[in-house]
A and B are shown apart, each in its own frame.
Chain A
Amino acid sequence: MKGYWKYFLNKLGWFAITFVFAFVLNFILPRLMPGDPVAAIVSRLAQGMSNATGVQAIYQQYADLFGTNRPMHEQFFIYVRNVFRGDFGFSFSQYPRPVAEVLGASIWWTIALQFPAILVGWIIGNTLGALAAYLKGGFDKVLMPVSIFVSNFPPFGMAVILLAIFGVTLKWFPIAGGYGFDLIPSFSWNFFWSVFIHYQLPFWSIVLIAIGGQAIGMRSMAIYELNADYVKFSRFMGIKDQKIIGYVFRNAMLPQITGLALSIGTMVGGALVAEIVFSYPGLGYTLMNGVMGQDYPLISAATLIITIMVLTANFIIEILYGIIDPRIKAAQSEQ
C-alpha cells in the first residue's frame, strides 16, 4: 500500500505543476495574438466621432478598465487575484457582459451534449471492437467495415448529412437551436421534450463518428492482447478460457480508457462544428468567437475550465490505472 501512496502523491505533484504551468499558458497564449482588442472596441464605440482627442480619451478609459496598458506581469497578478475571487472580468467582445455570465450561459449545453455522446460512442465502439476481435468471421467482416466507413465521414460532414436527410428532407427532427424556436425555457414537459428532440441530431452526429475510431482501437488492442505470450502460456497451462478473456479485455481496455480521458479534453473542440451546423448553444462557438474578437479574458477563462476538466479526468484515470494494472504500480514503486 505504501508504494501506491507514493505513486499517488507523485502523480498529484505532477498534476499540480502541470496545472500551474497550464494556468500561466492560458493567460499568456491569447495575449500573444497580434492585434489590439481595445482598438476594436473603441472603433465600435467611437463611430462618428470626429476629434482625435475624444477617441484617444475613450481608448485610454477602456485600456485602463481592461488593464491592457499595464505590463504583462502586472496584468497577470491582477488576473490571479481576481480569479481567486471568482471574478474573470469583463468579456471584451460582449462588453459589458462579464465573462462568468457569458460562459455560464453556454457551458452546460456543451457538457450536456458532449458527456453522454462521448460515453455512448465509447461504449458502443468498444463493444463493437471487442466483439469483432473475439468473434471474427462475419461480424468482423461486415459490421466493422460498415461502422468504420460511417465513422470516416468528417464530423462536420456527418452533421451536414444528418441535417440534410433528417432535418431538411424528412423533417423528422428540428434543424436549429437547443430547444423549440417558439419556446421560452421553463420547467415543463413541453420544454424538456423540445430539448430532447433538438438534442438528437447533434448527439448522434457525434456518437456515430466516435464509434468507429473506438472500435478500431479496441479491436487492435484486443487482438494484440489475445496474441500476447501470456495468453498462449495460460492456455498452455490450462487456465480457464473465461478467466483469460477477462484479463485480455482488461488489458486491452487500458489505452482505451486513456482515450476516453483524452476525448474529454477534445470535448469543447469536438462539438464546435456540430454547434455551428445545428446552431446549438455551447462553449465551442463562444470560444471561437472569443478568438475572433481577441477576447483575452473569455479565452483564458474558457481554456481554464477545459484545463480543469481535463486534468481532473486524467488524474482520476491515472489513479484508476494504478489500481487496474499492477504492472504500472509495480514499475512506479520500484523507483
Chain B
Amino acid sequence: MRNKILTLLSLLAVFAMLLSACGTPTPAAPAEPEATQPPAQPQATEPPAQPAPTEAPALKPGDPLPRTETLYFNGLQWGPVVCWNPYSSNCNNAMALAAGDNARVTMFETPYLYNMLDGKQYPLLADGDYSWNAERTELTFKIKPAAKWSDGTPVTAEDVAYTWATHVKYNTGTGAGNKDYIEDIVALDPKTVVIKAKLDANGKAVNPLIVSAFVSSNYVVQKAWTQKLEQRTGGDAAKFLADTAEDVVFSGPYGPFYADETKVVLVRNDKYWGQDPSMWGKLPAPKYLAHAIFKDNAAGFAAFKAGEVDVSQQFNANIQDLWLKEGLPVSTYLPDPPYGIGASLPTAFYNLNSHGLNLVAVRKAIAMAVDYDTIVANAMANQSATFKQVPRSLMNPTPGEQALYDHDAVKDLQWAGKDYEAAKKLLDEAGVVDTDGDGWREYEGKKLSYVATCPNGWSDWQAAIEIVAAAGKEIGIEITTNYPEWSVYQTVVTKSDAPLPAGYDIFMMWSAGAGPTMPWGRIRNLLSSEWIGQPSNWSGNWGQYKNERVDELIKAIPNETNPDKLKEMYTELVKIYLTEVPSFTLMYRPQNFHAVNESVWTNFPHQDDGTNPPVPPLNLVDGWSIAGLYNLTLVK
C-alpha cells in the first residue's frame, strides 16, 4: 500500500515537471502583440532601384538584427519610449530626441554640430560657417543644397524659420528660453537663414553668445509636417505637444524601426542626404542603432560585460576591473583614471536662508572640511579628476576652460578639502563656537544643524552627500542626510519663487557641462540672480544667491570679445565664487560616460586617436561625436 502511494506521488512529481516544461513556451505567445506598434517602417529604408552601399538583405521575421551591422547602447534610454515629437520635451525617447548643447543628431539635425573638445561649431545642415553682421545683431547662414528630408524634399530656410515660429507660438521650452534673446528667424531666400537678435536699449544684441549657440543646440523640423501636426491638433497647445508624432519627417541618418517595453531600435535611412560629398561622403557604419531598456545599472552593466552592449553611457563603478581583472576588450576614452573628460561639476548648494548659512565662514568651513578624495575614490570610483589635479574654480577640467582664468591669482583661495584645522580656525575666528559644551557649535545661541540631501537612488550623489555629512561631525556642525524621491525633490528645488523649505539646507544639483556658451553659461546658471523668483527654475542658483557685481559681470561677458578682458572678468568671478562660497563643487563628472566593448566594433574615439577635428567621447550620437559613427570598423 505504501508503494502505491509512492507511485502516485512520483507520478505527481513527474506531472509537475512536465507541466513546467511544456508550460513555459506557451505563455510567451501573448508577448507578441504587446509592442507599441513599430512606428511605421520608415519610408525608403530599402530602396530596390538604387543599390544601397551596404548590401544587407532585408530583415526576415525572427531573424536577429545582424550583430555586425548593429551598434548597441546602454544608459541612454530608461523606460519605454513615449513619443517621437521633436517639439515635446516629454517623449522619453533618448535615442532620437535630446536637443541641447551637444544635441543628439541621430534622427533630427541641427544646423551646426558642437565639438566639446575644440569648442568649435561645424556645419551639418548648414553650408559653411555662419557670419555676424558688423553690429553683431544678425547672424546669417546658408543651408546645404544637398540636405534633404526623409520624404525626399529639400531642407529649406523656411523650415528653420517655421520651426522657430512654432516654438514661440506653442510656448515650448525652446521658445520660452530663447525669445528674450532672439527677435526672429527669417528665410531670406530658400537657402539663407537670418537670425535677428533681440536688441537692448543701446541697439546692441542682448546676448550674441546665446544666439550663436542656438544654431547647434536646436533641431530643424520640417514645415510641411509641422503644419500637418497643427492641423491634426487644431491649434491646441497641449494636444500639439502630446502628439506621438509617429509619422514625423526627419533629416538625420536614422529613423524609427522598432520600440517596445524592452528595447528601441533605429534603422539607417540608406537615402540619407549626408552621404553627399558636401557632408560625410558616406553612410554611417552601423545599419541599426539599438538600445535595450534595462531596469537598473547592474543589468545594463552585465550586458555590457557580456558584449551585448557596445557603447555604455552608464556610471559603471570600477570599470577598470573589466580589463585589469577579466581581460575583456573594454576601453574608455582615457586609459587611466579619470577615464573620461570631466565636463560638468555636480555641486552642493547652500540654502542661504538657513540659520548660520548666511555666514561666509560657516559655508567655507563646511566646504573645506569635506573629504573630496574619498568622494572621488568611493562615490565616483575614481572616474573624476581630483581637486589636486584640477583645483576648484568655475571651470570644468578641459584645457580650453582652464586657460580662461588666472590660476596664480586665486591660488590662496582654493582648498583641497579634509582641512579640519583650517575649517575650525575659520569658525572660531567668526565667533561660531560651542558655547554650551554639547560638542556642536552655536551661532546666535542656536545650534548649527543642517540636513544634506539629494534625490533617492542617485547612487554616486548619495554616496557623496554621506561624505559631506561626515565632514560636519569633524568640525562641530551637525549634518544629517535625507533622500526624498526625485519626483518630490525636483519640484521643491526648482521652485525659486519662494524660500526653500526646511530639510533642504545643503542639497545637490548639477551644473552645465560642455557647450558653445561655456563657461559663461555655467557661471550664469550657478550664480546669476535672474533665476530667483522663477516658479520652475531648471537653470541654477537654486540656493538663491545674489551679488550685484556678479550679475554685472555675467551681463557683460557675452558682448566682450577681447580675450585679455575676458580672462580678467572670469578670474574675478572665480575669486568671488571661492570667497563667498554660495555653493561648492563635489566632483568632476564627464559630459557622458563613454565606455566601449570592442568585441564587435572598434575604432571608437579615444585620446590621441588621430581624428581631426577630434571626435569627442559622447557615445557617437551627440554633437560632433556622431562623426565617430562614420569611422567605426569591425573587429577582425
Question: Which positions in A face B, CB cutoff 8 Å?
Answer: 34-37, 39-52, 54-56, 61-62, 65, 94-97, 101-102, 104-106, 108-109, 111-113, 115-116, 119-120, 123-124, 127, 130-131, 134-135, 163, 167-168, 171, 175-192, 195-196, 199, 203, 207, 240-242, 245, 275-279, 281, 285, 289, 292-294
Contacts and interface: CB of A to CB of B under 8 A. Distances in A.
Given A56-B535, A62-B238, A199-B24, A185 B35 contact: yes
B20 A116 contact: yes
A105 B302 contact: no
Contacts of B135: none
Contacts of A112: 27-28, 30-31
A281 B261 contact: yes
Given A186-B32, A241-B1, A113 B173 contact: no
Given A48-B176, A176-B308, 14 more contacts: A40-B491, A44-B90, A46-B536, A47-B536, A49-B176, A55-B536, A56-B535, A123-B15, A177-B263, A182-B65, A184-B65, A196-B28, A276-B295, A285-B295
What size tier do the contact residues of chain B reach?
Answer: 35 or more
Interface in B152-176: 171, 173-174, 176
Contacts of B244: 96
A45 B241 contact: yes
Most central of A49, A56, A187, A277 by chain B CB within 10 Å: A49
Most central of B38, B180, B298, B535 by chain A CB within 10 Å: B535
A2 to B, nearest CB: 36
Interface of B: 1, 4-6, 9, 12-13, 15-16, 19-20, 23-25, 27-28, 30-32, 34-36, 38, 59, 61-65, 67, 70, 72, 79-80, 82-83, 89-90, 92, 171, 173-174, 176-177, 180, 237-238, 241-244, 258, 260-263, 265, 290, 292-296, 298-300, 302-303, 305-306, 308, 485-488, 490-491, 494, 497, 533-536, 538-539
B64 A120 contact: no
A168 B328 CA distance: 13
Contact of A37 (B28, B61, B90, B487): B487
Given A48-B177, A163-B302, A176-B294, A207 B20 contact: yes
Contacts of B261: 105-106, 109, 178, 281
Contacts of A95: 82, 90, 242
Leading 9 A-B pairs by shortest Cβ distance: A188-B62, A112-B27, A48-B177, A186-B61, A96-B242, A108-B30, A123-B16, A195-B28, A182-B64
A276 to B, nearest CB: 5
Contacts of A50: 176-177, 180, 534
B487 A54 contact: no
B36 A101 contact: yes
A134 B303 contact: no
B145 to A, nearest CB: 33
A130 B34 contact: no
A51 B176 contact: yes
A127 B16 contact: yes
A120 B16 contact: yes
Given A127-B12, A175-B306, A195-B25, A181 B295 contact: no
21 contacts: A43-B538, A44-B90, A45-B89, A45-B173, A52-B534, A56-B535, A94-B79, A94-B82, A96-B82, A112-B27, A116-B23, A120-B16, A168-B302, A171-B306, A182-B67, A185-B34, A186-B62, A279-B262, A279-B293, A279-B296, A292-B485
B306 A105 contact: no
Contact of B487 (A108, A278, A293): A293
A111 B28 CA distance: 10
B24 A61 contact: no
B538 A196 contact: no
A119 B16 CA distance: 9
Contacts of A188: 61-62
Contacts of A55: 535-536
A45 B172 CA distance: 8
A175 B17 CA distance: 24
B265 A167 contact: no
Nearest to B78: A289
B176 A178 contact: no
Nearest to B21: A120
Nearest to B16: A123
A65 B65 contact: no
A108 B59 CA distance: 26
Most central of B290, B302, B305 by chain A CB within 10 Å: B302
B19 A120 contact: yes
A34 B491 CA distance: 12
A182 B290 contact: yes
Contacts of A116: 19-20, 23-24, 27
Given A36-B491, A176-B292, A276-B295, A124 B13 contact: yes
